[in-house]
Each structure stands twice: as C-alpha cells, then as structure tokens.
Structure 1
Amino acid sequence: MMNLPPAVKAYFDAANHQDHEALLACFTPDAEVEDENNRYVGRAAIRAWKEESFAKYRPVQEPRSAKTDGAVVSVVTTVSGNFPGSPVDLLHEFTLEGDAVARLNITLA
C-alpha cells in the first residue's frame, strides 16, 4: 500500500478485513464520520455504521492515490462490493488529531 499515515493505513486494513475493533482504534473517542449524507459521531455510532455497511455492501477498498495537506489526508479509493454501480471511486478525507482520525468525510471522487 502507498505511504499513508499509520491511522489511515490501519483504517483501510481493518475495513478490508472486517476487524471492527482495529477500525475503531483508528478514531478519536468523539470522532465524526460523514458518509452517504449521514453523520456518525463517536465510536459506538461509527461501529454501527461500519457493521451495517459491511453487511449490506461487502465493500473492499483499494487506495489509488493520496495527498496530505497539514492534518488532512485525502485518499482516492476504488470501492467494489454488492451495490449498484460497483466499482466506484470514492474520496476519503481524513482529518488527523495526533495519531488518530478525528473526522472522516467520504464522497464520490
């Protein structure tokens, strides 16, 4: 995988292996995620979002490119799974706080 900050690399590794504990460890306790026009705040909400997303779509994410601008790491991924239009390119914008993700915004690339 490309050279990504540890928390971002760990997020993709954990997401692709359905390791919810490892995925949650990537986030600050009060982290926020925005995906598909929904907002999830805190680790419990993030866990529920990922568990539902995986059960519904079975997504596999492959990072294609990344750039860092201060605390923001933008990663374009190709996501394939059980959803209409698969595969699709998504932009994951991670805002880091120390060694953890404080905010993640996912949109079409």
Structure 2
Amino acid sequence: MNRLPDAVNAYFAAANDGIPDEFLAAFDDQACVLDFKRVFNGKEAIGEWSRSEVFGPKVRFVVAEAAGQDGDYAVIATVDGEFDKTNLPDPLLLKHAFKLSGAKIAEVAISFP
C-alpha cells in the first residue's frame, strides 16, 4: 500500500477517534467536499457536513486500499457507523479521491468504488 500524506491520514484518524477539530484542520481553507452529488465549499460548510455526516453518526473507516499518483490519492475504505444502512451494500465500501494543496486537503470526492 502507498504511504498516505499526513492530511489524508488525519482525515481518517480524526473521524475514527471522534475529533472534529483535527478532522477540519486537515483541510485547506478553500477546500471542497464532493459527497456524491452534494458539494460543500470552505471550512465552515465542511465543518457542518462533517458534524452531520461523520461525527453525528459516529462513522468509522477502515482503509482497504490506497494509491497515489502525481499528488492525487484514492482510498477505498470500509465504512460503518450509526446510520441507516437500508439498501446499502454490506460491507459498505466508499472511494475517497483526495487532491492536496501543499500539506492540506484541497478536495475530497466521495463515491462508490
């Protein structure tokens, strides 16, 4: 498995450990989250999204695969938590495609693999 940048590791570790401030600190000020068809621009919007979609339902990630090329990183992770799993695959796998700006996350696009 490729070694992931600190910001990407912090994204998953802070989510798993329930630390919203560390999660948000992994993002650039102008970052964008593309969660399927929903778009969240800037740290304030990302903070609101993470409180309702990550920290509220106590989402936990286990990285299954990771690859990096030219500063972009794709991570496939199993996802679990306290959310409605009706009609979702089991196990639930999500792809997180990261783009970095310096040492921070500039964009993460979340989708099915």
Normalised by the length of structure 2, the TM-score is 0.88
Cα distance in 2 for partners of 1:46, 1:29 equals: 10
Question: In structure 1, what is the equivalent of residue 107 of structure 2?
Answer: 103
C-alpha displacement at 1:26, in angstroms?
0.5
Give the number of equivalent residue pairs: 108
Cα distance in 1 for partners of 2:99, 2:2 equals: 18
1:26-105 pair list within 5 angstroms: 26-53=26-53, 54-55=55-56, 57-81=57-81, 82-84=83-85, 85=88, 87-105=91-109
Q: CA RMSD in A?
A: 1.6
% identity of equivalent residues: 32
Structure 1 runs not aligned, ≥5 long: none
Which stretches of structure 1, 4 residues or longer, exceed 3 Å deviation after superposition?
A: none
C-alpha displacement at 1:2, in angstroms?
6.8
Letter in 1 for 2:21: E
Normalised by the length of structure 1, the TM-score is 0.91
Cα distance in 1 for partners of 2:47, 2:60 equals: 17
Letter in 2 for 1:44: E
Q: What's the secondary structure of 2:108's corresponding residue?
A: strand
C-alpha displacement at 1:63, in angstroms?
0.6
Q: What's the secondary structure of 1:13's corresponding residue?
A: helix
Q: Say whether the 8 Å CA contact 2:36–2:109 is kept in structure 1.
A: no
Cα distance in 2 for partners of 1:61, 1:69 equals: 22
Cα distance in 2 for partners of 1:106, 1:28 equals: 17
Letter in 2 for 1:30: Q
Cα distance in 2 for partners of 1:4, 1:83 equals: 30
C-alpha displacement at 1:87, in angstroms?
3.4
